[in-house]
């Protein structure tokens, strides 16, 4: 079965501290992986995506993620948190070569709080 | 370029009423989908479509109908609303299935309350 697990439904960091949001996937085939951000009362916006090129992916707003096949992980990081980073973050996975609608599977989300 | 547009943004229904959530995209995307978002459960796929005239069920299809008569539009119908359908609904689209790397583009959501 294909699935995504986000460890920690709530994460708090101080402004200027490292942000680390965890995502692990379960897959029997090579995945494509995505991180989305959702600000209050808005839709989801793409932060970054891994599509089998470089394993270290850089996204918008200073975020990056590293695909680690051996650990089946795609953790999201940012060196220095900003107040504007406070939001809900979702990890998602889809798979290569599927023809059944190329469905995306989403994690349950991590709410990031940034403490001034 | 509007992207994915959903209407209405807010709706309150009584149990048993029916309604349609509208979704339109102007990116010529073949794939369109509907998700519901509930606290602690992430996004769950309701229905999806891989092109005009083609729809299929997702993870939680019961109580919802969809149709796809044009590439641009993908309405979601609630047949007889129930309190369990209180949720935030998102429409999302992506480009051709041949480009498996394409990300989903989301609308801003429709917040539905069923009393």
DSSP characters for chain A? --EEE-S-SEEEEETTSPEEE--EEE-SS-EEEEEEEE-TTS-EEEEEEE-SS-SEEE-GGG-EEEEEGGGTEEEEEESS--GGG-EEEEEEEEETT--STT--EE---EEEEEE-
pLDDT at residue A16 in the model: 97
Rounded Cα distance, B87 and A115, in Å = 29
Q: Do residues B4 and B91 make contact, with C-beta atoms less than 8 angstroms apart? A: yes
Q: Mark yes or no for CB contact B94/A109 under 8 Å.
A: no
| Banded pLDDT at A97 (limits 50, 70, 90) | low
For chain A, first and last CA: distance in Å? 41
Chain B touched by A108 (CB under 8 Å): yes
Chain A touched by B1 (CB under 8 Å): no
**Smallest CA–CA distance from A39 into chain B, residue:** B108
Tell me: the pLDDT tens digits for A69-87?
A: 999 999 999 999 999 999 9
Q: Mark yes or no for CB contact A90/B109 under 8 Å.
A: no
Interface of A with B in 62-91 (CB under 8 A): 90
Chain B touched by A1 (CB under 8 Å): no
| Banded pLDDT at B91 (limits 50, 70, 90) | very high
pLDDT at position A101 over 60:
no
Q: Regarding predicted confidence, which is higher, B20 or A101?
A: B20
pLDDT at residue A61 in the model: 93
Distance from CA of B62 to the nearest CA of A (A): 18
Rounded Cα distance, B39 and A68, in Å = 29
A-chain CB neighbours of B109 within 8 Å are 41-43
């Amino acid at each position: 079965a294909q699935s995504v697990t986000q460890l920690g439904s709530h994460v708090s960091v101080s402004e200027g501290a490292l942000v680390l949001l965890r995502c692990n996937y379960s897959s029997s085939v090579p995945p494509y992986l995505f991180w989305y951000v959702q600000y209050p009362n808005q839709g989801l916006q793409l932060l970054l995506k891994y599509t089998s090129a470089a394993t270290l992916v850089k996204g918008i707003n200073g975020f990056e993620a590293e695909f680690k096949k051996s650990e089946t992980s795609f953790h999201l990081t940012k060196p220095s948190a900003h107040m504007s980073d406070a939001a809900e973050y979702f990890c998602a996975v889809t798979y290569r070569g599927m023809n059944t609608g190329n469905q995306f599977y989403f994690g349950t989300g991590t709410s990031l709080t940034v403490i001034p | 370029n509007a992207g994915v547009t959903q209407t209405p943004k807010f709706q309150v229904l009584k149990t048993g009423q029916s309604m349609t959530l509208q979704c339109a995209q102007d990116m010529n995307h073949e794939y369109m989908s509907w998700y519901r978002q509930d606290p602690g459960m992430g996004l769950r796929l309701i229905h999806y479509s891989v092109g005009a005239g083609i729809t299929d069920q997702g993870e939680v299809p019961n109580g919802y109908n969809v149709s796809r008569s044009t590439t641009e539009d993908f309405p979601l119908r609630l047949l007889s609303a129930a309190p369990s359908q209180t949720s935030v609904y998102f429409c999302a689209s992506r480009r051709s299935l041949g480009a498996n790397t394409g990300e989903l583009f989301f609308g801003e959501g429709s917040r539905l309350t069923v009393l």
